[in-house]
Chains A and B, each alone.
Chain A
Amino acid sequence: MEKLLEVKNLEVSFQTYGGTVKAVRGVSFDLHKGETLAIVGESGSGKSVTSQSIMKLIPMPPGRITGGQILLSGDDIVPKTEKQMEKIRGKEISMIFQDPMTSLNPTMRVGTQIMEVLIKHQNMSKTDAKNRAIELLRLVGIPMPEKRVDQYPHEFSGGMRQRAMIAIALAANPKLLIADEPTTALDVTIQAQILELMKDLQNKMDTSIIFITHDLGVVANVADRVAVMYAGQIVEMGTVDEIFYDPRHPYTWGLLASMPSLENDDKADLAAIPGTPPDLTNPPKGDAFAARNKYALAIDFEEEPPMFQISETHFAKTWLLHPDAPKVEPPEAVKKRIRQLSSTFEKPVIVKEGK
């Protein structure tokens, strides 16, 4: 498959009064055409900063990309100027934000906000743009688009606004769509509709999607591949089946075990991950997750773990996969999920040394 996006060793930091916050610490991943990659992690894990860096939307200063490359169809966008970025944003890459209430302009008609994109990137005339805007609103499932196109955002419900946002994002047929928690503010029934809509449009337009969320249910629903982020790094990455049925990193175990399952009737305590994420002004030595990890080995507090490869597509950054590591049993709730996947290598292979 064709690679649309390659992120190599991305590092982003922010200058604050308290010191430099290293929000993203060496993130690498790639994205194929028509694929959905979900990035999961808690607040402060760097998932939003990573995605905003891809669009270069992080405020600079205080933010700064301190290292790495972001290759969009082979072209590095890190050194690009603001002017050059304007040609990319909306046309090549677009973004859907979490809060549809605040990300639409309340003083502009919804139709005009869609037309803006078309007039800028497709050089359409006003009338053509308006017709296309109506078409797009119909495409995202808004009833009576001829009437709705002239309305203001406050006349739309939350789910409708998110649909309008999607219409704006897709107006110029972008190759890459970044969705930053697009359904978190919505009700479950509306969320289900929006997810269905996004999948449907992806099939029609062959767009690649980066889907940022902390809801593992949503991940299972939309993703082809999943990247789990913790403290500014990807700690595990694999296909959706590998992450849910054969997770290897203790943080992924923790996330999966801390969710109650609907089928599970037992009322035992949830396996919560103790403590809180580390302060990234001063990232801890060794494995950033060690302090919250009951499986932590002595070496975790000393040396950062290397990235191990478990299958063609499955990677995990934990010392537990080292041949010398003791064999540990994942938590009960995770053990129930585990299945033998045929693609797994016989032995994990080190692909990248930790620093």
Chain B
Amino acid sequence: MAEKLLEIKNLKQHFNVGRPNMVKAVDGITFDIYKGETLGLVGESGCGKSTTGRTIIRLYDATDGQVLFEGEDVHGKKSAKELKKFNRKMQMIFQDPYASLNPRMTVADIIAEGIDIHGLVKSRKERMERVYELLDTVGLNKEHANRYPHEFSGGQRQRIGIARALAVDPDFIIADEPISALDVSIQAQVVNLMKKLQREKGLTYLFIAHDLSMVKYISDRIGVMYFGKLVELAPAEDLYNNPMHPYTQSLLSAIPLPDPETERSRRRKSYDPAVHNYADNEKLEMREVTPGHFVYCSEKEYNELKAKSGK
């Protein structure tokens, strides 16, 4: 397999620590992201998938655990200069294209903000050229540079958000539900654009979403989260064809497909965490059942899954 770009080790993000309303939003998750791949992260609202993304990029300080980017820890003490270096390599695209662009800045200033901060250009002329180039990359045109965000539709705004992320030449982009707020016909446009950019620039994506059909389409591997834990991680095809964790099975059985006949015969499974019936002394961890297919389970379940998949 390709080299690791990012290693997330036992990452924890707890809010309101020490108070009665403490929330373990992310509770000890471990996974790697390889160079040039798209890792999809799915789960229901409140499962901690967005928090995971935000903690990786250090919008939150992790409670515990490590995020290694090319072998270096993202969290922990850093000089302003080191931090700046990281910020250039990692960028984020947000869910709400209406709330994530400053309404009082022109598109050119929004896109060039990162360029200015990192001092990537020498002259005003070069700056504008870079902005035009970025607008062109994301399928907008030069004339859009001096307009304000309110003059654009949702899909166009999301393109501006993508141009802003690309402005500093990042290696890794975290896309937090980038298409959820868009219309179906526009979603495909944005997804196609993201795939094109990945091919051309060799970008690595962490794609967070709850629309599983889109996630399967764009991702190489998919992680499923449930209550702050990663319960299953597998190549996209494998996860869909052979979901092992009962929660993944229930999630997959709930997605309505655009096919009336499948829908008429749909049998939905529900997930009850009690089915595991874990004993107190059982050690729960991510175990590799088949090559590349990890499931969060106990030793006993692991043996059962292993036996089943061996057949």
B224 CB, nearest partner CB in chain A, Å:
12
Task: Tell me the complex Cα distance, A219–B270, Å.
Answer: 22
CB distance B187 to A258 under 8 Å? yes
The reply to whether A192 and B268 form a contact with Cβ atoms under 8 Å apart is yes
Tell whether, in the assembled complex, residue B251 and residue A214 are in contact, meaning their CB atoms are under 8 Å apart. Answer: no
Task: State whether B251 touches A188 (Cβ < 8 A).
Answer: yes
Interface segment, one of A108-116, A267-275, A280-288, A300-308: A267-275
Least CB separation from A43: chain B residue: B183
Q: Tell me the minimal C-beta distance from B162 to chain A in angstroms.
A: 15
Binds A, one of B19-27, B210-218, B284-292, B298-306: B210-218
Q: Mark B169-213, 1 if CB is under 8 A from A, else 0.
A: 000000000000001111111011001100000000000001011
Instruction: List 29 contacting pairs A-B, 8 Å CB cutoff, sorted by A.
Output: A42-B183, A42-B186, A187-B45, A188-B210, A189-B270, A190-B44, A192-B253, A192-B254, A214-B183, A214-B184, A215-B184, A216-B184, A217-B213, A217-B258, A217-B263, A218-B256, A220-B258, A220-B263, A221-B256, A221-B263, A245-B260, A254-B185, A262-B255, A270-B188, A270-B192, A272-B192, A273-B188, A273-B189, A337-B259
Q: Kindly list chain A residues whose C-beta atoms are within 8 Å of the C-beta of B196.
A: 269
| CA–CA, A241 and B251, complex, Å | 26
CB distance B251 to A189 under 8 Å? yes
Which chain B residues border A255 with CB–CB below 8 Å?
Answer: 184-185
Could you tell me the distance between the alpha carbons of A191 and B189 in the complex, rounded to whole angstroms?
26
Q: How far is the CA of A26 from the CA of B115 in the complex (A)?
A: 50
A42-B184, A255-B185, A259-B213 known; A219+B258 contact, CB < 8 A? yes
Indicate whether A107 reaches chain B with its CB closer than 8 angstroms.
Answer: no
CA A271 to CA B184, docked complex, whole Å: 11
Tell whether, in the assembled complex, residue A196 and residue B254 are in contact, meaning their CB atoms are under 8 Å apart: no
How long is the Cα–Cα vector from A129 to B44 in the complex, in angstroms? Answer: 36
Q: What chain B residues lie within 8 Å of A68 (beta carbons)?
A: none
Cα A218 to Cα B260 in complex, Å, equals: 10
Additional pairs, 19, CB under 8 Å, beyond known A189-B270, A258-B184: A188-B210, A188-B251, A189-B271, A192-B256, A217-B263, A220-B256, A221-B266, A240-B260, A244-B258, A255-B184, A256-B258, A261-B213, A261-B257, A261-B258, A262-B212, A267-B217, A269-B195, A272-B186, A272-B192
Question: Are A270's CB and B45's CB within 8 A?
Answer: no
Q: Is the CB of A188 within 8 A of B192?
A: no
Chain B contacts for A241, CB-based, 8 A: 260
A330 to B132, CA, bound (A): 36
A189 to B153, alpha carbons, bound, how many Å? 30
Contact B187 A195 (CB under 8 A): no
Q: Which residues of A contact B (CB under 8 A)?
A: 42-43, 158, 187-192, 195-196, 214-221, 240-241, 244-245, 254-256, 258-262, 265, 267, 269-274, 276, 337
Q: Which residues of A contact B253 (CB under 8 A)?
A: 192
Q: Residues of A contacting B70 with CB < 8 Å?
A: none
B116: Cβ under 8 A from any A Cβ? no
B237 contacts the other chain (CB 8 A)? yes
Residues of B within 8 A of A267 (CB): 217
Determine the distance from Cα of A158 to Cα of B185 in the docked complex, in whole angstroms: 27
**Chain B residues within 8 Å of A261, by CB:** 213, 257-258
Q: Is B63 an interface residue (CB 8 A)?
A: no
Q: Which residue of A lies closest to B193 (CB)?
A: A272
List the B residue with the shortest CB-CB distance to A219.
Answer: B258
Task: Quote the shortest CB–CB distance from A311 to chain B (angstroms).
Answer: 16
Q: A292: nearest residue on chain B (CB-CB)?
A: B185
CB–CB A188/B254 < 8 A? yes
A188 touches B185 (CB 8 A): no
| B149 contacts chain A at the CB level, 8 A cutoff | no
Q: Does B155 contact A (CB under 8 A)?
A: yes
When distances are taken between beta carbons in the complex, the residues of chain A under 8 Å from B257 are: 217, 220, 261-262
CA distance A337 to B44 in the complex (A): 30
Q: How far is the CB of B198 from chain A (nearest CB, A)?
A: 11
A contact residues around B210 at 8 Å (CB)? 187-188
Is the beta-carbon distance between A259 and B184 smaller than 8 angstroms?
yes
- Contacting pair B191 A215 (CB below 8 A): no
Q: Which chain B residues lie closer than 8 Å to A190 at the CB level?
A: 44
Q: Is B250 located at the chain interface by the 8 A CB criterion?
A: yes
CA distance A94 to B254 in the complex (A): 27
Chain A residue numbers with a CB within 8 Å of B189 are: 272-274
Given A272-B192, A276-B155, A220 and B183 contact (CB-CB distance below 8 Å)? no
Residue of A nearest to B262 (CB): A220
Cβ–Cβ < 8 Å partners of A196 in chain B:
268
